A and B are shown apart, each in its own frame.
Chain A
Amino acid sequence: MTDITRRHFGFMAGASLTALGLPILSAPSLAQGKPRVVIIGGGPGGATAARYIAKESNGAIDVTLIEPQKTFTTCFFSNLYVGGFRDYKSLTHNYDKVKKGGVKVVHAMAASIDRDKKQVTLAGGGKVPYDRLLVAPGIDLKFDSVPGYSEKAAEIMPHAWKPGAQTQLLVKKLNALKDGDQIVMIAPPNPYRCPPGPYERVSMFAHVLKKKGHKKSRIVILDPKPAFSKQGVFTEGWEKHYPGMIEWQDPKIHGGIKGVDVKTGEVKTDFTNYKPALVNVIPAQHAGKIARDAGLTNQSGFCPIDAASMKSTVDPNIFVVGDASIAGDMPKSAFSANSQAKVAAMVIRSELTQSRAFPARYSNTCWSLIAPDDDIKVGASYEPVDGVIKASNSFVSQRNESADLRKQNYKESVDWYNGISADIFG
């Protein structure tokens, strides 16, 4: 055997599912017709998986995507809408190309999963049987993690951490502010979707106020965390573009976030009572209800998965990708969800149609805009190591980078948005 063939042989052996340490399940018998894959949730995780399974299996697998909404508005880049860099329409995508790609799209809410019978019950009562189920419902907000906050209160103090009307409400309130007004953001505890998101959003708040000529308006971030993503470069950018406007408080400074009162508009910490003109509350998060109800979550509120396949550690017929999953070092991002979906799609196809399986690899980059043409990024490659998804080759923007580089980052992020949107929705 030559070196080359031995290498190939090693690769092939390494690629088999047994070698990856996954249980082998018998493929559904062809007598039952095509194997059926059902996907819950048409966001970056679910829609990517649906499209890749349909495309790569060339019709050999029956793919059904269950998603209540007819259009999907992305949370990613919604901060750019807040800052006035995008219009709302540019964030909204439909499922026409997903359907054209051979996916059956059922616009309904999945009400429950019967794991023994392997079927999903729709809110309308219909049943959808599956051979493999992929669950990608994103997150739900734990409103009561902030005392006094609730779904109803969000109509006055928006979270805008789920896309749609909430984001529009936030923008309306932001644009109505007068010079001298105060904004308070309550940032979320880990883990939450989009680690740099709150800080990019604050940058966009500041940009809008600065553009309106505000001199006296102030933004206070009350953070339950002692540190945050890309902190060094965010802080540098805030000092440069918005000197004196943004104050970040960690628990040592605020002493503890006591809660909000929507009636009086107050936000209370251990040390101070604020009465801001705009309050943005981003509460703690857990996996979407359907995943919790089906028993796919652990005590963390998110779904444990096998790092080599995104398969639920609870049920071998179910995969969980995106924000709902516990993906080790990977942040909860659209990029991560899209990347995880491709691994799950590959493993699902190989289990159902004996197509070739390959070792899992993941990647992620998150760009954040601080001010016009000043964009920073953080990213890494990821692989399963001892059952956990581990980061390698990570990078993050540095202080004192050139304006050209930051502008290049911004253009890159716009190209990425177009690329990933096409990858997810066609």
Chain B
Amino acid sequence: MRRAMPARISATRLVVIGGAMALGLIGSPAWSADVEYGRHLSAECATCHGASKSDSTIPDIHGLGEAHFVEVLRAYRAKALPNPVMQSIAVRLGDEEISALAAYFATAKKPK
């Protein structure tokens, strides 16, 4: 399932992501994603993203559209988005890891 970018993503972020796309930093995943690997990797994200509310600075990423998810993570990886916390997380994610995470989170539910 692919979803349009959520409204909460800010205009500046969109510009940055747009720029990253133009630079060819963002493309579509090249292989079919390994959801089990994504689930494993998602444990790292749960420390911060597990209890987000609508007004949280750490956004809820459960159910995020895959295309958007991939774009944003690649933008953090390229340091085109500024938050050093997410940059440090994203820098060591390869395309395979990002696709796996995107596929997992697309249908994952926030833990209750």
* A and B pair up: yes
**A→B interface (CB under 8 Å):** 4, 7-8, 11, 52, 335, 338-339, 342, 346, 356, 358, 361, 363, 365, 377, 379-381, 383, 392-395, 408, 411-412, 415-416, 418-423, 426
Complex contact B47–A356 (CB within 8 A): no
Residues of A within 8 A of B91 (CB): 381, 392-393
CB within 8 Å for A423 and B50 given contacts A363-B89, A381-B92, A415-B57: yes
- Interface assignment of B111: CB less than 8 Å from any CB of chain A: yes
Residues of A within 8 A of B43 (CB): 52, 342, 346
CB within 8 Å for A4 and B30 given contacts A363-B44, A393-B91, A420-B48: yes
Complex contact A381–B89 (CB within 8 A): yes
CB within 8 Å for A421 and B51 given contacts A363-B89, A395-B87: yes
Complex contact A422–B51 (CB within 8 A): yes
CB within 8 Å for A335 and B51 given contacts A377-B85, A379-B84, A381-B91: no
Complex contact B44–A411 (CB within 8 A): no
How many interface contacts (CB-CB < 8 Å) are there between A and B?
A: 86
Residues of B within 8 A of A379 (CB): 84-85, 88
Residues of B within 8 A of A356 (CB): 36, 40
Residues of A within 8 A of B111 (CB): 422, 426
Complex contact B92–A392 (CB within 8 A): yes
Complex contact B47–A419 (CB within 8 A): yes
Residues of A within 8 A of B107 (CB): none
Residues of A within 8 A of B58 (CB): 412, 415-416, 419
Residues of B within 8 A of A383 (CB): 92
On chain B, which size bracket covers the interface? 20 to 34
Query: Binding site of A, secondary structure by majority: helix, strand, loop or mixed?
Result: helix
Complex contact B40–A415 (CB within 8 A): no
Interface string of B34-57 (1 = CB under 8 A from A): 101100110110111111100011
Complex contact B92–A393 (CB within 8 A): yes
CB within 8 Å for A411 and B84 given contacts A338-B47, A419-B47: no
Residues of B within 8 A of A339 (CB): 44, 47
Near A by CB (< 8 A), chain B positions 12-42 give 30-31, 34, 36-37, 40-41
Give the residue name and chain of the B residue nearest to A343 (CB): B43
Complex CA–CA separation, A392 to B88 (angstroms): 8
Can you give 25 A-B contacts (C-beta < 8 A)? A4-B31, A8-B31, A52-B43, A346-B40, A356-B40, A365-B88, A381-B89, A381-B91, A392-B91, A393-B87, A393-B88, A393-B92, A394-B88, A408-B57, A412-B85, A415-B52, A415-B57, A415-B58, A416-B47, A418-B51, A419-B51, A420-B48, A421-B51, A422-B111, A423-B50
Residues of A within 8 A of B50 (CB): 419-420, 422-423
Residues of A within 8 A of B56 (CB): 411, 415
Complex CA–CA separation, A335 to B50 (angstroms): 14
Residues of B within 8 A of A381 (CB): 88-89, 91-92
Counting chain A CB atoms within 10 Å of each CB, which of B31, B51, B52 scores highest? B51
